[in-house]
């Protein structure tokens, strides 16, 4: 699967997943065209998208989508975020090497989302 351009206009639709049930697995690359590390990370990200067609690989151009970047608190690019079933489970600035990106995908796939949601609920109540 190729990457999806994520905007404030299509954000909810992409995050809700193809069935609209909130069961999604979305990796988001926050980038800008002037950013050297972003440009170098792009082929690594695109290859991962080809290897994992069951996942959504999205890109946010932080220059064009400043409101969306601000909503995620992006202060440095590239930043990679992972949203699974509507929950932000990972966010980190810096370009990842291919092996690290694959390891991240494996770890995110292995998450018990019921447990994650329970921890989020407990933290919200506290």
Give pLDDT tens digits for 81-91.
999 999 999 99
User: CB atoms < 10 A from the CB of 99, how many?
Assistant: 9
List beta partners, residue 80.
29, 92
Which of the following is catalytic: 6, 27, 38, 74? 38
The CATH code of the domain that includes 13 is 3.40.30.10
Which of the following is catalytic: 15, 28, 35, 104? 35
Global pTM value: 0.92
List beta partners, residue 63.
none
Give pLDDT tens digits for 92-107.
999 999 999 999 999 9
34 is in which domain, residue-wise? 4-125
46 annotated active-site: no
Give pLDDT tens digits for 11-60.
999 998 877 777 889 999 999 999 999 999 999 999 999 999 999 999 99
How are beta strands 25-31 and 56-61 bridged, if at all?
A: parallel
- Long-range contacts (CB closer than 8 Å, 24 or more residues apart) made by 45-51: 45/3, 45/101, 46/2, 46/3, 47/98, 48/98, 48/101, 48/102, 48/105, 49/1, 49/2, 49/3, 50/1, 51/102
Pairwise CA distance, residues 70 & 74, whole Å: 6
35 annotated active-site: yes
Number of domains within the chain: 1
């Amino acid at each position: 699967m190729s990457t999806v351009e994520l905007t404030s206009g299509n954000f909810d639709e992409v995050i809700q997943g193809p069935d609209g049930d909130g069961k999604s697995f979305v990796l988001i690359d926050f980038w800008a065209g002037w950013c050297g590390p972003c440009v170098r990370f792009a082929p690594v990200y695109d290859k991962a998208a080809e290897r994992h067609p069951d996942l959504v690989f999205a890109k946010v151009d932080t220059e064009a989508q400043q409101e969306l970047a601000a909503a995620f608190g992006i202060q440095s690019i590239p930043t990679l975020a992972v949203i699974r079933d509507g929950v932000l489970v990972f966010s980190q600035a810096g370009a990842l090497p291919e092996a690290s990106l694959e390891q991240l995908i494996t770890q995110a796939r292995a998450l018990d989302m019921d447990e994650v949601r329970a921890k989020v609920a407990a933290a919200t109540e506290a």
